[in-house]
Structure 1
């Protein structure tokens, strides 16, 4: 009887041991499976992240170009920000190499321009010079916002380049025209561009192209240094200085003064910028506040907090009335000379 009891006890212990081993293996398998799923999901996130931020730049095999150097180059200007974003000047990039890399990516670039009221007079020069200099050889889609669709000039465009006219209401105040740009850019991205555009630039119509503006300007979030303030101390920047405004930047803060007339980047980055600036502008308006330079003030606030991944030098938006400074070897895009009293619906 005792023997049978010991035998049964042994059998029971064996089953308990086997059960423990099975459960241990099951848990190990479960943890490995979950971990593997997490790794797979993380890999997918990393893949999207890499594609979104252009960290994987493939050049064509056997492409010939000049040997790069890290010990010689521009020594008259700063070519990198304190947060390690490139500052693009003539002589800091190889256009053949960059164009070859982005050709393989088969990118499409959009550009928005607002021609409202008398500003429609600048549209012909803008579009014609863009055909000569703006992303030549790439797919480009121009979007013209205007209150005078019948006045948009017919421009002969190269293959893979097109223009879409988007009607908008006119305004009695140029400040309102400026302010609404962020709203319209946000909606354009949400309603028309999400699935077929890689990059977008938002440009002033009262400007024209004089030189190459191409793949060297691409990146996540792109800002352009304002030509009127790039040599000044930041205490002179015309930031919004009232703390009650959501565009506020205090004295002693800020990096550079960026143009409202030229900015861009990857679609999702510009969408976030436009959405944030619009939200902050509208919140200010409800409290009776209009920032010093409308959308430009809110853009500068946004880019002080959300650092641009690439900064374009004043070559990318000069001013025709200014003499070229020695460090500016080429003018690529420039605001034309104009009489604001004659073209703006109101001048304050």
Structure 2
């Protein structure tokens, strides 16, 4: 990767963002973004997510928060700025947290066809058990973008937790790979996200028929897709970080989207 401060070009001529402040470039044609949040088992975090998003995420731009939930009555009422709205999309309840993860691609694919294609320009697919902690603007938007996993951004591709079993549709050869992307922050144009989620969902259907579940569930399928369909922009780990599990390196001057402390076992069960 060749780079300069805050900006880099990857070996397939894709920009990467580190502390980039290029959002002014988009002001002439302000996009309409949809933020996709799956809040099935993590509804307790939705209020903080929305409150911090209103302070830091795409401020001054039109945004629709799409919340997937099986408990629509529990969606909190959070004041939203002008031009921003929350849409609750009721989905079925799943017995296991792994099933929620595995069906997320199906939900996004289905609703992209049903409504997102005609309602927004871009989709940003994020985990809800997080909070925004610094400015995040339209600099993230691109036809297809992924985010470097905070645990693997310095690792060799041989050490990535790719799916290594050939029986799975998420399988990646040990000698292949460039980055490991986190499943909790990706997106792009609605057309690109529709293609990504459809391919990943279809792959998971095949895996289910073959009685195999990818090692990192939907994240494994996301990584295979982005390996063979290169993203047009790659975001640095400042766009998703876990301060409890990872020591912040000096070069990350800002953390824009951070994990909220939680008891995973208690919430998932």
TM range (shorter): over 0.9
Q: 1:158-177 residue pairs with structure 2 within 5 A?
A: 158-177=81-100
Q: Which of 122, 129, 135 is matched with 1:199 structurally?
A: 122
Aligned to 1:221: 144
Q: TM-score, normalised by structure 1?
A: 0.74
Aligned to 1:294: 217
Aligned to 2:171: 248
Aligned to 1:11: none
Aligned to 2:229: 306
2:184 is the alignment partner of 1:261: yes
Q: Which of 14, 39, 56 is matched with 1:85 structurally?
A: 14
How big is the shift at 1:94?
A: 3.1
Q: Would the aligned equivalents of 2:46 and 2:76 in 1 still touch at CA under 8 Å?
A: yes
Aligned to 1:335: 259
Q: 1:232-247 residue pairs with structure 2 within 5 A?
A: 232-247=155-170
User: Which structure ranks higher in relative contact order (CA pairs < 8 Å, sequence separation ≥ 6)?
Assistant: 2
Corresponding residue pairs, total: 267
2:31 is the alignment partner of 1:107: yes
Aligned to 1:315: 238
Aligned to 2:47: 124
How big is the shift at 1:234?
A: 1.2
How big is the shift at 1:73?
A: 4.3
2:38 is the alignment partner of 1:145: no
Q: TM-score, normalised by structure 2?
A: 0.96
Tell me which structure has the larger Cα radius of gyration.
1
How big is the shift at 1:290?
A: 0.5
Q: Would the aligned equivalents of 2:69 and 2:90 in 1 still touch at CA under 8 Å?
A: yes
Q: Which of 189, 198, 204 is matched with 1:281 structurally?
A: 204
Q: 1:6-45 residue pairs with structure 2 within 5 A?
A: none
How big is the shift at 1:293?
A: 0.8
Take 1:255 and 1:335, find their aligned partners in 2: how far apart are those partners?
25
Q: Would the aligned equivalents of 1:320 and 1:337 in 2 still touch at CA under 8 Å?
A: no
Deviations 1:130-176 (A, max 9, x none): 11111110110000011111111100000000001111222221110
How big is the shift at 1:106?
A: 3.5
User: Which structure dedicates a bigger proportion of its chain to strand?
Assistant: 2
Take 1:148 and 1:195, find their aligned partners in 2: how far apart are those partners?
26
Unaligned runs of 5+ in 1: 1-71
Structure 1 runs of 4+ aligned residues shifted over 4 Å read none
Unaligned runs of 5+ in 2: none
Quote the RMSD (CA, aligned, Å).
Answer: 1.6
